[in-house]
């Protein structure tokens, strides 16, 4: 079981410095990056402001499902991180609060576009590039070449060697499906996914599950964000990732305030803090996660994959972040691919 799988959904309570905030100041934080970064964000915000933080970490699709289920009685105040598409769905479904940060002018264009596409109901906090992960040692042992293109993932030689997360629970896997649809056209993309299914040994719940399985030597190949392989590589584990030769998609990891949040002041305080370079550098420095931060003044981590060095499609965030399109593609995947033996 992955680290993420083993603690997903667990709540962490962080007490702020005594006396630094009134007894009522609390923040219920939903967090969809990896737990190390979530904890760093919760701890540092709490220490800096005195706000008591209850943090729950779950994948992007799972958090959207929870926010939908709680719509009549919101329990979360802010949702930090996770792929941008479900944040856009949340905005469209009226589940997030409109909020225009004065820090928008400090952010990269892709992060501002995310805010504009949502009518200022979400904002970009980081970007990441989708790729193919692999374990070079395991591949060598099996006498298999390292994959470098999407097309490789359907080759019979990789039978039983590939993992991708489940797109209903994982934002990473949904980005993969939306990327393939945009690259190939929908019918070819579903043909591809069906062929790749013959090589897939599991569709885990969490987007980082497959690259952690690669790093542990449980599977040779994964569909993963490239920065997630960097995290494993830096931990000394045999994981690498490449951008597929045909081109690939990207995520705009996002943040939203829950509509009707009980702790609206704390939510806005957190939102403003999370857009500062001091908060954004925690991702790499403490969380060991190497995204491109959205604030232009946050130092770009040395090991972060460079957006301008990869062939990235013009990902249509508004279309693939619409509730109808996301719901339709996930349902089609479940019916035509996920249900296959």
- Cα→Cα distances 201→47, 207, 214, Å: 43, 15, 12
Structure tokens at 313: 């499609």
207 or 293, CB closer to ligand PLP? Answer: 207
Q: Could you count the other beta carbons within 10 Å of the beta carbon of residue 267?
A: 24
Shortest distance (Å) from residue 225 CB to ligand PLP? 5
Shortest distance (Å) from residue 172 CB to ligand PLP? 3
Q: How far is Cα 297 from Cα 316, in angstroms, rounded to an integer?
A: 26
244 or 287, CB closer to ligand PLP? Answer: 287
Residue 206 CB partners (closer than 8 Å, separation 6+)? 2, 4, 5, 8, 59, 165, 169, 170
192 or 225, CB closer to ligand PLP? Answer: 225
Shortest distance (Å) from residue 312 CB to ligand PLP? 15
Shortest distance (Å) from residue 258 CB to ligand PLP? 17
82 or 147, CB closer to ligand PLP? Answer: 82
Shortest distance (Å) from residue 143 CB to ligand PLP? 31
26 or 60, CB closer to ligand PLP? Answer: 60
DSSP 111-153: HHHHHHHTTSS-EEEEEEEEEEEE-HHHHHHTT-PPP-SGGGG
Structure tokens at 136: 């070079």
Q: Specify which residues 80 forms β-bridges with.
A: 31, 255
Shortest distance (Å) from residue 82 CB to ligand PLP? 5
131 or 207, CB closer to ligand PLP? Answer: 207
Shortest distance (Å) from residue 173 CB to ligand PLP? 6
138 or 164, CB closer to ligand PLP? Answer: 164
Q: How far is Cα 96 from Cα 256, in angstroms, rounded to an integer?
A: 6
Binding residues for ligand PLP, rule: CB under 6 A, are 32-34, 59-60, 81-83, 128, 165, 170-172, 206-208, 225, 228, 251, 253, 289
Q: Specify which residues 241 forms β-bridges with.
A: 133
Q: Which residue is nearest to ligand PLP (CB)?
A: 207
CB 76 within 8 A of CB 261: yes
Shortest distance (Å) from residue 264 CB to ligand PLP? 25
Closest to 135 (Cα-Cα) out of 199, 216, 207, 220: 220
Residue 274 CB partners (closer than 8 Å, separation 6+)? 41, 45, 80, 125, 255, 280
Q: How far is Cα 146 from Cα 17, in angstroms, rounded to an integer?
A: 50
16 or 61, CB closer to ligand PLP? Answer: 61
């Amino acid at each position: 079981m992955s680290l993420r799988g083993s603690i997903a959904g667990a709540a962490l309570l962080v007490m702020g410095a005594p006396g630094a905030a009134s007894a009522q100041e609390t923040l219920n934080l939903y967090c969809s990056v990896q737990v190390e970064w979530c904890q760093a964000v919760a701890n540092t915000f709490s220490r800096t402001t005195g706000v008591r933080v209850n943090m729950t970490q779950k994948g992007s699709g799972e958090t959207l499902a929870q926010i939908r289920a709680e719509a009549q009685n919101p329990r979360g105040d802010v949702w930090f991180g996770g792929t941008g598409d479900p944040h856009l769905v949340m905005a469209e479904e009226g589940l997030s609060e409109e909020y225009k940060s004065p820090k928008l002018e400090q952010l990269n264009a892709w992060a501002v576009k995310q805010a504009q596409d949502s009518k200022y109901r979400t904002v970009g906090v980081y970007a990441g590039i989708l790729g193919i992960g692999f374990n070079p040692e395991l591949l060598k042992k099996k006498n298999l070449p390292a994959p470098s293109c999407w097309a490789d993932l359907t080759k019979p030689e990789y039978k039983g060697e590939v993992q991708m997360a489940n797109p209903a629970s994982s934002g990473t896997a949904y980005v993969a499906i939306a990327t393939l649809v945009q690259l190939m056209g929908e019918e070819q993309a579903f043909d591809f996914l069906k062929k790749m299914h013959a090589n897939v040994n599991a569709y885990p719940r969490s987007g980082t599950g497959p690259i952690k399985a690669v790093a542990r030597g449980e599977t040779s190949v994964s569909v993963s964000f490239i920065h997630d392989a960097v995290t494993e590589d830096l931990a000394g584990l045999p994981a690498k990732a490449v951008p597929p030769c045909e081109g690939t998609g990207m995520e705009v990891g996002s943040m939203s305030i829950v509509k009707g949040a009980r702790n609206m002041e704390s939510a806005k305080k957190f939102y403003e803090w999370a857009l500062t370079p001091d908060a954004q550098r925690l991702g790499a420095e403490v969380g060991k996660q190497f995204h491109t931060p959205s604030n232009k003044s946050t130092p770009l981590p040395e090991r972060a994959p460079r957006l301008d060095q990869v062939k990235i499609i013009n990902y249509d965030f508004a279309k693939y972040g619409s509730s109808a399109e996301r719901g339709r593609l996930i349902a089609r995947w479940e019916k035509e691919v996920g249900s296959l033996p």
